[in-house]
């Protein structure tokens, strides 16, 4: 039964995404907010698909920690779920994302025209400058900047180093609240996984990081807070909904696959 429900979701997801993007192409010429509306509409649509096909619901904790207006959200990244869900949590998100996503036909154009912050990760130091420039513009527009510090989706139970770009954001905008975000979405919707599991996915917005920390203290503090709470949420989900917890071998295999994919992308880009 779970497999059939997952199949139903995948059919609805890819079919619905295609139809929505094609039907709303005329909005591309109507400015950033119109294109952002397309993002909101798509994300709410996917949330409905998840709820009524596989029974996947959401629970958002810590909304009292979310300020009105601009902020920086530094979030764990386990699944496509959180890239969809932030649109239903904050009013005007600006994702820091890899530039390759903007090259996806139609969908990528909506990302560009809605003012997402696309970064060429192969560009070295200029990528950081582009990120800070894009973040400054978004914050001036009272938007919520979202960054995934591990740079890619990371399976439950594993941990990757956090990229130093998050400290650059923290230091460059000292008056802006920096909010760590933990979640357990990978337990329900894994990377490259056909299966989607029913239950209640949890995202928790924690108290803002104290301003004025040095780099070493900041990096340790934010990683400890996000990773510790993420492990707790994963365990809660596994126990409550009888979900499979990835083994160390599963995690090693996924990480090897990610490295191979990244290596092939880099090879293609330089060939």
pLDDT along the chain (271 residues), means of 10: 86 88 84 88 93 95 95 96 94 92 85 89 81 96 96 88 94 97 94 88 97 96 97 93 66 56 49 47
Spatial separation of the C-alpha atoms in residues 217 and 8, rounded to whole Å: 46
pLDDT of residue 264: 52
Count CB atoms within 10 A of the CB of residue 62: 15
Q: Is 254 helix (H, G, I), strand (E, B) or coil?
A: helix
On the 0-12 / 13-18 / 19+ scale of CB atoms within 10 A, 240 is exposed
Can you list the positions of beta strands (E) in 148-271? 178-183, 199-205
Which residue in the block uniquely carries the two structure tokens 């949330």?
Answer: 47
Question: How does strand 199-205 pair with strand 178-183?
Answer: antiparallel
pTM, to two decimals? 0.86
pLDDT of residue 250: 54
Residue spans per domain, the chain: 57-270
pLDDT of residue 253: 57
Which residue in the block uniquely carries the two structure tokens 């009272």?
Answer: 142
Spatial separation of the C-alpha atoms in residues 30 and 32, rounded to whole Å: 7
pLDDT of residue 269: 43
Spatial separation of the C-alpha atoms in residues 144 and 93, rounded to whole Å: 5
Q: What residues does 58 pair with on adjacent strands?
A: 201
pLDDT of residue 98: 87
Retrieve residue 255's tokens.
């990480």
The answer to whether the CB of 46 falls within 8 A of the CB of 84 is yes
Spatial separation of the C-alpha atoms in residues 47 and 84, rounded to whole Å: 8
pLDDT of residue 271: 47
Q: Which fold has domain 57-270?
A: Glycerol-3-phosphate (1)-acyltransferase (3.40.1130)
pLDDT of residue 95: 96
pLDDT of residue 121: 76
Spatial separation of the C-alpha atoms in residues 55 and 196, rounded to whole Å: 9
Q: Which residues neighbour 185 within 8 Å (Cβ) at sequence distance 6 or greater? A: 78, 79, 81, 82, 85, 201, 203
Spatial separation of the C-alpha atoms in residues 39 and 168, rounded to whole Å: 27
Spatial separation of the C-alpha atoms in residues 63 and 60, rounded to whole Å: 7
pLDDT of residue 270: 45
pLDDT of residue 223: 97
pLDDT of residue 266: 46
Retrieve residue 20's tokens.
């929505």
Tell me the C-alpha to C-alpha distance, in Å, between residue 96 and each of 23, 28, 118, 136.
26, 20, 6, 12
pLDDT of residue 220: 96
């Amino acid at each position: 039964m779970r497999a059939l429900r997952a199949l139903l979701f995948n059919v609805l997801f890819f079919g619905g995404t295609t139809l929505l993007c094609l039907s709303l192409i005329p909005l591309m010429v109507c400015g950033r907010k119109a294109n952002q509306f397309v993002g909101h509409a798509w994300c709410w649509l996917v949330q409905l698909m998840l709820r009524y096909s596989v029974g996947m619901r959401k629970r958002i904790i810590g909304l009292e920690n979310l300020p009105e207006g601009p902020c920086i959200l530094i979030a764990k990244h386990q699944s496509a779920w959180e890239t969809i869900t932030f649109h239903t949590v904050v009013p005007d998100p600006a994702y820091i994302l890899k530039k390759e996503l903007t090259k996806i036909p139609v969908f990528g154009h909506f990302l560009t025209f809605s003012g997402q912050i696309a970064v060429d990760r192969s560009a070295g130091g200029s990528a950081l400058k582009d990120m800070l420039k894009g973040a400054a513009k978004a914050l001036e527009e009272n938007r919520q900047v979202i960054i995934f510090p591990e740079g890619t989706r990371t399976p439950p139970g594993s941990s990757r180093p956090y990229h130093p770009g998050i400290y650059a954001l923290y230091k460059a905008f000292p008056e802006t609240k920096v909010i760590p975000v933990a979640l357990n979405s990978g337990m329900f919707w894994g990377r490259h996984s056909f299966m989607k599991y029913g239950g209640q996915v949890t995202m928790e917005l924690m108290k803002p990081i104290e301003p004025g920390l040095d780099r070493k203290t900041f990096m340790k503090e934010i990683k400890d807070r996000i990773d510790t709470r993420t492990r707790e949420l994963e365990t809660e989900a596994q126990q409550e909904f009888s979900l499979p917890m990835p083994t160390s071998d599963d995690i090693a295999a996924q990480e090897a696959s990610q490295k191979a994919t990244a290596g092939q992308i880099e090879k293609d880009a330089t060939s």
